[in-house]
C-alpha cells in the first residue's frame, strides 16, 4: 500500500519533456523524464538527425535553451536541413535560444574540447542537448574518447571499450547534474548485430529508440521503436512514421 502511494507520488513529481515528435509522446507517458539521457539509433538516412532537430524545436517553441553538437555536419548544413521543415535555426540562434557547435576531427584531437564542452553546458543553463553523434566521437581516431587509438598504446579491446564508456558517460554526468534532457545519436549498421555499432553510446542510457525501415510491397515503411525508457511504461513495438512538412510524424 505504502509502496503504491510512493510510486504515485514519484510519477506525479516527475516532469516530462515533450519530444516534439508527433504522436510519440502518447506512447511514453507524455515525454522523456526530465534530465534523462536517451539514445536514438538507426542506419544512415533513417532520420536520426531530423529527430534530434525536432526535439530541440519543441524546446525552442517553449523558450527553452538548446544546444546541438554535431560532428557529422557543418552548422550551415544543419541550418539548411532544418529549414526544409520550416525550422528557422538562424533566427533561434540570433534570439539566443539555440547554439550549434560543430566539432571536426581536428577539434576532437584537442583534449581541451571536452572540458570546454562540459564547461559550455555547465555555464549556459541549457534545457535540451543533442549529440550528433556519439558514434563519431567514439570512432574519431584522435579523440581522447576514442576506442580506436589505444591499440597503439598496447591496450586491449575490452580495456579500450571500458575507457571509452567511462569517458562518454562523464559527458552525461554533467547534463544529468544540470537536469538537462539529452539525446545521444548513435549509428547502427545494417545486418550487424547490436543496437549501436560502437556499443558505447547506450552505456548508462536511460532510453533507447530505434529508427528502422523495411520495404513492404514497393514502398518503404519507416518505423520507430522505443525499446527502453526508464520510469516509463512503454509498449516496445515498432510504430510506422513518415516525414511530413512538420518533420517526423507517427501514423495515427
Ligand X SMILES: Nc1ncnc2c1ncn2[C@@H]1O[C@H](COP(=O)(O)OP(=O)(O)O)[C@@H](O)[C@H]1O
Which positions from 185 through 244 interact with ligand X, judged by CB under 6 A? 243
Cis previous bond, 133, omega within 30: yes
Q: Is 136 in the site for Mg ion (CB under 5 A)?
A: no
Rule CB under 5 A: which of 164-203 touch Mg ion? none
Stretch that binds Mg ion, among 48-56, 75-83, 155-163, 226-234 (CB under 5 A): 48-56
Span interacting with ligand X, options 31-39, 47-55, 106-114, 159-167, rule CB under 6 A: 47-55
Nearer to Mg ion, 45 or 217 (CB): 45
Which of 65, 93, 63, 64 lies closest to 78, judged by CA?
Answer: 93
Window contacting ligand X (CB under 6 A); options: 46-54, 137-145, 176-184, 198-206: 46-54
Nearest in space to 228 (alpha carbons), one of 57, 37, 3? 37
- Between residue 23 and residue 42, which ones bind ligand X under the rule CB under 6 A? 42
Partner in contact with 44, chosen from ligand X, Mg ion, none, beta carbon below 5 to 8 Å by kind: ligand X
Torsion angle (degrees, nearest 10) of CA 224, 227, 228, 229: 20
Instruction: List the beta bridge partners of residue 16.
Output: 33
Alpha-helical segments (H) within the chain = 2-13, 48-61, 75-83, 89-94, 105-109, 112-124, 134-139, 157-177
Residue with Cβ nearer ligand X (48 or 128)? 48
Q: Which residues bind Mg ion (CB under 5 A)?
A: 49
Q: Which residues bind ligand X (CB under 6 A)?
A: 42, 44-50, 243
Amino acid at each position: 500500500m505504502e509502496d503504491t502511494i510512493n510510486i504515485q507520488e514519484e510519477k506525479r513529481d516527475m516532469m516530462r519533456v515533450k519530444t516534439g515528435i508527433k504522436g510519440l509522446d502518447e506512447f511514453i507517458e507524455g515525454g522523456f523524464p526530465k534530465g534523462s539521457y536517451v539514445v536514438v539509433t538507426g542506419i544512415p538516412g533513417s532520420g536520426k538527425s531530423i529527430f534530434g532537430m525536432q526535439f530541440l524545436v519543441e524546446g525552442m517553441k517553449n523558450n527553452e535553451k538548446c544546444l546541438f553538437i554535431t560532428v557529422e555536419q557543418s552548422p550551415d548544413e544543419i541550418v539548411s536541413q532544418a529549414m526544409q521543415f520550416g525550422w528557422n535555426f538562424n533566427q533561434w540562434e540570433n534570439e539566443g535560444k539555440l547554439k550549434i557547435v560543430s566539432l571536426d576531427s581536428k577539434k576532437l584531437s584537442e583534449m581541451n574540447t571536452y572540458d570546454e564542452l562540459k564547461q559550455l553546458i555547465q555555464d549556459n543553463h541549457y534545457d535540451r542537448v543533442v549529440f550528433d553523434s556519439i558514434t563519431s566521437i567514439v570512432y574519431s581516431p584522435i579523440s581522447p574518447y576514442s576506442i580506436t587509438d589505444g591499440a597503439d598504446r598496447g591496450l586491449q579491446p575490452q580495456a579500450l571499450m571500458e575507457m571509452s564508456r567511462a569517458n562518454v558517460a562523464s559527458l552525461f554526468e554533467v547534463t544529468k547534474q544540470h537536469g538537462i534532457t539529452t539525446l545521444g545519436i548513435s549509428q547502427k549498421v545494417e545486418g550487424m548485430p547490436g543496437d549501436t555499432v560502437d556499443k558505447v553510446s547506450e552505456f548508462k542510457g536511460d532510453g533507447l529508440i530505434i529508427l528502422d525501415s523495411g520495404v513492404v510491397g514497393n514502398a518503404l515503411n519507416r518505423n520507430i521503436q522505443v525499446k527502453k525508457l526508464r520510469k516509463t511504461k512503454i509498449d516496445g513495438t515498432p510504430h510506422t512514421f513518415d516525414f511530413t512538412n512538420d518533420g517526423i510524424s507517427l501514423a495515427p
